[in-house]
Structure 1
Amino acid sequence: MASSLDDYESLASKVLPAGVRDFIAGGSGSETTLRRNRSALDAVTMAPRVLAGVSSPDPSTKLLGTPAAIPVAIAPMAYQQLVHPEGEIALARAAAMAGIPYVISTLSSQPMEQIAAEASTWFQLYWLRDRAMVESLIDRAGQAGCTALMVTVDVPVMGRRLRDVRNAFQLPSEVVAANLVGARTEAHVGVAGASAVATHTAAAFEPSLSWLDLEWIRQRTELPLVVKGILDPRDAYRATETGAEGIVVSNHGGRQLDGAPASIDALAAVVEAVDCEVLLDSGIRSGTDVLRALALGASGVLIGRPLLWALALDAAAEALELLSGELTQAMMLAGCATVAEIADLTTGRA
């Protein structure tokens, strides 16, 4: 059994093909932002409150109206069958066992309907060149029982991920974008010096996504609208003016603009700018990190890579149990009986 979420990466790296390992672990460019996510989280300090009499903290909350046993949702991640035969279905089951929401990716390797049958789900939408397919995905998400629509806005094109380029990474034939009916096949065709996944997204994604398109999405669905990929408080404010009920502060795990700020460094200004739920994504690796995010004003966090590593070992439920235990202990050490009390901690920078 792993002692920390970081343990799963080293363990999974021993069983995954090198190309898949790099596809999960890598960032864009020189991976400056990828590294910055971790160093910035490590720099956040929290002054614990003492003599608080906290013996049994309650880490439960609601995220976008969805009950959550801990203030965590599973981030949208593509092609999970790369690491497990059941892929997203297995991870959704682990989310249900942990009592937290699961975010279904547009590029999931299992159909959204099958994933949504396993857990409380939200649907993550990429803006596609095919407007009819976008409409279909939004409709299917509602019909499948997803309770929020999360629009990712920081991928007009995929960042240049050099590990994938050097590996000429391509998807195996059995792993497909299951939600995209009649999906293109570029992701399965390897070309030296190129990422086949990037070639596929360049063909499928519409880079000109604008505020007008977000307004169209808002009018197209009655689901709560969440905008993921915001780092500038001006964009956060405008998203709420457009009708967003939630913001995800995210640099896409360091996989888009290399040189972007760490998500945790952008969080406080976004929280200050808007009056809605704000979630943090990118770099969360422990219960202490969850505490850090909430102390800086987040309503909750999204967690991604550690659960893919754990999924590769068929240990996603174990990883979420470990995360929950870490958060509960961190709350005790900080003197916080409830999630709401975490926001009152005094924070600083090391």
Structure 2
Amino acid sequence: MAIGRNTQSAIFRDGAIGRLPLVPTAWAELEGRAHQAMSRRAWAYVAGSAGNESTTAANRAALDRWRIVPRVLRDVEHRDLSVELFGHRYPSPILAAPVGVLGLVRPHGDLDIARAAAALGVPYILSTQASVPMERVVAAMGHAPHWYQLYWSSSDDLVESLVSRAEASGAQAIVVTLDTHLLGWRPRDLDLGYLPFAHGEGIAQYTSDPVFARLVDERMSAAPDSPRPRITPQTIRTLVDITRNHPGAFRSNLRSRRPRASVDTFLDVFSRSSLTWENLAFLRGRTSLPILLKGVQHPDDATRAVAEGVDGIIVSNHAGRQIDDALGSLDALPGIVERVDGAIPVLFDSGVRSGADVFVAMALGATAVCVGRAYTYGLAIAGQRGAAEVLRNLIAEFDITLGLSGNARADSIPRDAVARV
């Protein structure tokens, strides 16, 4: 496999005839261009993190504490980037992480990243907080691999329905995100007074769900004459947003109570802070798919996950979006890998900006690596092609880093390929 070399050659050949990359290959420029391309609200939501954003900085610092130690005079002409997860062989260790409310970034952002990932064979983890229902997204992907990320609702019936739909759509795994049962304190969003869900954005998995529709019906029946909000210019703008984002024709939605009732119902049922280990049996009883827990940071939780029969772990702090002053995600990875001791796959997420970051995480024991903000920035700059280019570049850089470090297989990078400094 020569993905890295081929990608480099293609870029340089294009440059020779005056055609430059759609998206920058360096992180600072990628982030800067994405900032220019996004609205204030979209940038705050995508780029923002919890509190003073020290956890985001800790994620970066944790990665920067490790350095790659190359070995020489090894035959790395033919490299294998593929990894195996749950009986499926994927062409690289990179997965497209779930990112909610991509409709803020691009009108059809969920479809754009789905098609971009599908073209590269990158598994896409569909978000519960999508702007497009999962069935439409999967249809756009053809037979490409995808997983489904579950936010555990306060309604078990809704949880069961979402998981059933995911399984019917051909999802290859269920990723339960555990660290967002309360919304983190995010100053960038707070200072704008903006939560996309309150505007009906990012709730398409819910408004397309039959159980959620029943919950909305019950809410409307219980309060047939619910008071309308006080009319202000901002109220009107919010109601227009809700009406536009709700399924159906704008005019009929404008005359209906249902769009606003759907938003209110979502805000009531979205999260469940009473979730415990005992609840996992409910999910296991309703799907035969592999179940991964996303948001694990403590080795004892990893031990419990193995004991509970969970199929995989994603070491993640939600890219710094939930808790300020938290441990950098990579700092948590080695202890969890050691504790799990190969019993189940351990994936990594949070702070990844480059193929070299992917290499470091793999050397420290990750089976695969999830990437989110990076492709979202490419999406903002150039839509589907931009997202695809970012993912392609990450894979290419990882391939080159693998070869230059003296390694030929992604799934067997030795621990001594990196050193802590």
Asked if Structure 1 and Structure 2 have the same fold, meaning a TM-score greater than 0.5 normalized by the shorter chain, the answer is: yes
1:299 aligns with 2:367: yes
Point out the more displaced range, 70-79 or 202-211.
Answer: 202-211
Q: Which residue of 2 aligns with 1:322?
A: 393
Aligned length: 343
Q: 1:175 is matched by which residue type in structure 2? A: E
Q: Which residue of 1 aligns with 2:299?
A: 233
Q: State the Cα deviation string for residues 43-92 of structure 1 (Å, max 9, x = none).
A: 11221111112123221222333332210111111111111121111101
C-alpha separation in 2, matches of 1:237 and 1:175: 37
Q: CA deviation at 1:265?
A: 0.5
Give the match's secondary structure for 2:194. Answer: coil
Larger % of helix: which? 2
How do 1:213-252 and structure 2 match up within 5 A?
213-252=279-318
Q: 1:159 is matched by which residue type in structure 2? A: G
Runs of 4 or more, structure 1, over 4 Å off, are: 199-203
C-alpha separation in 2, matches of 1:6 and 1:66: 34
Relative distance call for 1:52 and 1:106 in structure 2 (3 A) is same
How do 1:1-350 and structure 2 match up within 5 A?
1=21, 2-117=24-139, 118=141, 119-171=144-196, 175-181=201-207, 182=212, 204-274=270-340, 275-313=343-381, 314=383, 315-350=386-421
C-alpha separation in 1, matches of 2:162 and 2:172: 14
Contact 2:355 2:397 in 1 (8 A): yes
C-alpha separation in 2, matches of 1:116 and 1:222: 19
Give the match's secondary structure for 2:378. Answer: helix
Relative distance call for 1:84 and 1:67 in structure 2 (3 A) is farther
Q: CA deviation at 1:98?
A: 1.3
Give the match's secondary structure for 1:35. Answer: helix
Contact 2:100 2:202 in 1 (8 A): no
Q: 2:365 is matched by which residue type in structure 1? A: G
Contact 1:64 1:246 in 2 (8 A): no
Q: CA deviation at 1:152?
A: 0.8
Q: 1:237 is matched by which residue type in structure 2? A: T
Query: What is the aligned-residue RMSD (CA, Å)?
Result: 2.3
Q: Kindly, what percent of the aligned residue pairs are identical?
A: 39
Q: CA deviation at 1:174?
A: 6.8
Relative distance call for 1:201 and 1:297 in structure 2 (3 A) is farther
Q: State the Cα deviation string for residues 242-295 of structure 1 (Å, max 9, x = none).
A: 111110000010011212211100001111111110000000110000000000
Q: State the Cα deviation string for residues 10-45 of structure 1 (Å, max 9, x = none).
A: 111112111210111111011111111011101112
C-alpha separation in 1, matches of 2:309 and 2:146: 21
Contact 1:103 1:124 in 2 (8 A): yes
Q: State the Cα deviation string for residues 147-197 of structure 1 (Å, max 9, x = none).
A: 10110111220111111000111439573411113588x9x959xxxxxx9
Q: CA deviation at 1:203?
A: 5.2
Q: State the Cα deviation string for residues 206-237 of structure 1 (Å, max 9, x = none).
A: 11111111221122211001010000011011
Give the match's secondary structure for 2:204. Answer: coil
Point out the more displaced range, 98-107 or 46-55.
Answer: 46-55
Q: TM-score, with normalisation over the residues of structure 2?
A: 0.77
Point out the more displaced range, 63-72 or 85-94.
Answer: 63-72
C-alpha separation in 2, matches of 1:126 and 1:340: 30
C-alpha separation in 2, matches of 1:152 and 1:105: 10
Structure 1, unmatched stretches of 5+, are: 191-196
Q: CA deviation at 1:344?
A: 4.2
Relative distance call for 1:343 and 1:202 in structure 2 (3 A) is farther
Q: CA deviation at 1:240?
A: 1.7
Q: TM-score, with normalisation over the residues of structure 1?
A: 0.92
C-alpha separation in 2, matches of 1:91 and 1:36: 27
Contact 1:67 1:100 in 2 (8 A): no
Relative distance call for 1:56 and 1:7 in structure 2 (3 A) is farther
Give the match's secondary structure for 1:248. Answer: strand
Structure 2, unmatched stretches of 5+, are: 1-20, 217-228, 230-236, 240-262
Give the match's secondary structure for 2:183. Answer: coil
Q: CA deviation at 1:132?
A: 1.0
Contact 1:157 1:201 in 2 (8 A): no
Relative distance call for 1:216 and 1:171 in structure 2 (3 A) is same
